[in-house]
Amino acid sequence: MTFTEVVNHRRSIRKFNPDKPIDSEIVKQCIQQATIAPNSSNMQLWEFYHVTSSDKLKKLSNYCFDQSAAETAQQMIVFVVRKDLWRKRAKANLKHINKVTGGKDPKDYNRREKFANTYYTKLIPITYFDFLGIFGWLKYIIYWIIGLFRPIYRQGRKSDMRIVAHKSIGLAAQTFMLSMTDVGYDTCPMEGIDTLRIKKLLNLPFGAEINMVVACGIRVPEGIFGNRFRIPFEEVYKSV
Ligand SMILES: Cc1cc2nc3c(=O)[nH]c(=O)nc-3n(C[C@H](O)[C@H](O)[C@H](O)COP(=O)(O)O)c2cc1C
């Protein structure tokens, strides 16, 4: 399939073929493709839980309210936001910068390298650090005041940073689903789920958040609930 064909072929499939298993190694490769998705500040505040065991699939289906997509899924992926890992990810970025600069002392960095270093040592901590939401609101107010005089980044509050992290993993989920279509597999994204129970099932820490669960398998014709419906393009497309 061409890329356009892949985009058009992908549908949310609500019923998968029970007689057509899918290869977990191929699914794993699609998850790996998902990690190439663009993401905010390359912080990669995500984890992907590939559920293949029948007992966990059964429990997970129950936590997805036994929707037909979950009930008939051969495998499922839980897309998990790990905003709580920001320090670790900032460090990983700094380590990468150090590696690509040949292990130079940061004092000897050129302008671009210095900016990247400052970005992860100063800007990222300012952006991600919070304490009971208080620092977040303080940043929000400061940004708002500065913003009266010049353009400024506005995402200061805890809720803003949650959106930032969920936005990025959403792109990874879409990359995953398109990769699955490309290899002939089908998917259904689901947010009609009990996130708290899923967190417990996966033994996730307090700071982790479930973004969505993607059911995977191979479609049966009745797995597509009708023709694709979209609002007329002219209504959503604004040329400015
Ligand atoms: C974040 C998100 C959550 C969704 N949750 C569910 C869900 O819980 N159950 C379901 O059957 N479909 C779910 N969908 C699928 C949408 O209903 C579907 O994408 C939409 O109707 C358009 O259909 P299409 O994907 O076939 O183009 C979800 C889609 C997204 C992006």
Residues 120 and 146 in one domain: yes
Q: Give the Cα separation of 26 and 76 in Å (integer).
A: 13
Asked, for residue 208, whether it belongs to a domain, the answer is yes
Paired tokens of 190:
């689901």
Residues 75 and 91 in one domain: no
The last residue of a domain, from among 159, 192, 216? 159
Residues 26 and 98 in one domain: no
* Per-residue pLDDT reduced to its tens digit, 190-233: 999 999 999 999 999 999 999 999 999 999 999 999 999 999 99
**CA-closest candidate to residue 45, choices 153, 134, 128, 147:** 128
Residues 113 and 49 in one domain: no
Q: Provide the pLDDT confidence category of residue 97 given band limits of 50, 70 and 90.
A: very high
Strand (E) or helix (H) holding 132: none
Smallest CA separation from ligand 1 atom 10, residue: 190
Q: Which of 16, 64, 187, 191 to mutate to test the pocket of ligand 1 (most atoms within 8 A of CB)?
A: 191
Q: Check: CB of residue 98 under 8 Å from CB of residue 107.
A: no
Asked, for residue 237, whether it belongs to a domain, the answer is no
Asked, for residue 48, whether it belongs to a domain, the answer is yes
Using left for φ > 0, alpha for ψ between -120 and 50, and beta otherwise, residue 174 falls in alpha
How many Cβ atoms are within 10 Å of 160's Cβ, its own excluded? 16
Residues 134 and 110 in one domain: yes
- Between the CA of 84 and the centroid of ligand 1 the distance, in Å, is 27
Residues 28 and 79 in one domain: yes
Q: Provide the pLDDT confidence category of residue 55 given band limits of 50, 70 and 90.
A: very high
Asked, for residue 234, whether it belongs to a domain, the answer is no
Position 112, amino acid: R
Asked, for residue 235, whether it belongs to a domain, the answer is no
Any ligand 1 atom below 6 A from CB of 228? yes
The last residue of a domain, from among 159, 183, 208? 159
The pLDDT value recorded for residue 101 is 94
Q: Which residue bears the tokens 């600069």?
A: 101
Residues 77 and 12 in one domain: yes
For residue 78, what are the contacts with CB-CB under 8 A and spacing of at least 6? 48, 49, 51, 60, 198, 202, 210, 213
Residue 42's domain is classified under what CATH number?
3.40.109.10
The pLDDT value recorded for residue 44 is 98
- Between the CA of 188 and the centroid of ligand 1 the distance, in Å, is 7
* Per-residue pLDDT reduced to its tens digit, 12-24: 999 999 999 999 9
The last residue of a domain, from among 159, 182, 201? 159
The pLDDT value recorded for residue 140 is 95
- Between the CA of 210 and the centroid of ligand 1 the distance, in Å, is 16
Q: Which residue bears the tokens 């007329």?
A: 232
Paired tokens of 207:
């700071």
Question: Strands of 186-190's sheet, edge to edge?
Answer: 46-51, 75-81, 209-217, 186-190
- Between the CA of 239 and the centroid of ligand 1 the distance, in Å, is 27
Smallest CA separation from ligand 1 atom 27, residue: 11
Smallest CA separation from ligand 1 atom 1, residue: 191
The pLDDT value recorded for residue 81 is 98
Smallest CA separation from ligand 1 atom 22, residue: 12
Report pTM.
0.96
The pLDDT value recorded for residue 69 is 98
Residues 50 and 74 in one domain: yes
Residues 90 and 80 in one domain: no
The pLDDT value recorded for residue 11 is 98
- Between the CA of 12 and the centroid of ligand 1 the distance, in Å, is 6
The pLDDT value recorded for residue 161 is 95
Any ligand 1 atom below 6 A from CB of 89? no
Residues 92 and 80 in one domain: no
Average pLDDT value for the chain: 97
Q: Check: CB of residue 214 under 8 Å from CB of residue 187.
A: yes
Residues 78 and 169 in one domain: yes
Q: Check: CB of residue 157 under 8 Å from CB of residue 137.
A: yes
Paired tokens of 164:
């930032």
Asked, for residue 132, whether it belongs to a domain, the answer is yes
* Per-residue pLDDT reduced to its tens digit, 131-184: 899 999 999 999 999 999 999 999 999 999 999 999 999 999 999 999 999 999
* Per-residue pLDDT reduced to its tens digit, 67-92: 999 999 999 999 999 999 999 999 99
Q: Provide the pLDDT confidence category of residue 95 given band limits of 50, 70 and 90.
A: very high
Q: Look up residue 37 and give its DSSP letter.
A: S
Q: Give the Cα separation of 58 and 75 in Å (integer).
A: 10
**CA-closest candidate to residue 78, choices 202, 185, 205, 200:** 202
Position 151, amino acid: P
* Cα 220 from chain centre: 27
Smallest CA separation from ligand 1 atom 18, residue: 12
The pLDDT value recorded for residue 142 is 96
Asked, for residue 94, whether it belongs to a domain, the answer is yes
Asked, for residue 230, whether it belongs to a domain, the answer is no
The pLDDT value recorded for residue 102 is 94
| Mean pLDDT of the 2-13 span | 98
The pLDDT value recorded for residue 51 is 98
Q: Which of 10, 166, 190 to mutate to test the pocket of ligand 1 (most atoms within 8 A of CB)?
A: 190
| Mean pLDDT of the 102-130 span | 94
Q: Which domain holds residue 152?
A: 85-159
Q: Look up residue 188 and give its DSSP letter.
A: E
Q: Provide the pLDDT confidence category of residue 237 given band limits of 50, 70 and 90.
A: very high
Residues 78 and 7 in one domain: yes
Look at the chain and report how many structural domains it folds into: 2
**CA-closest candidate to residue 73, choices 86, 84, 83, 62:** 62
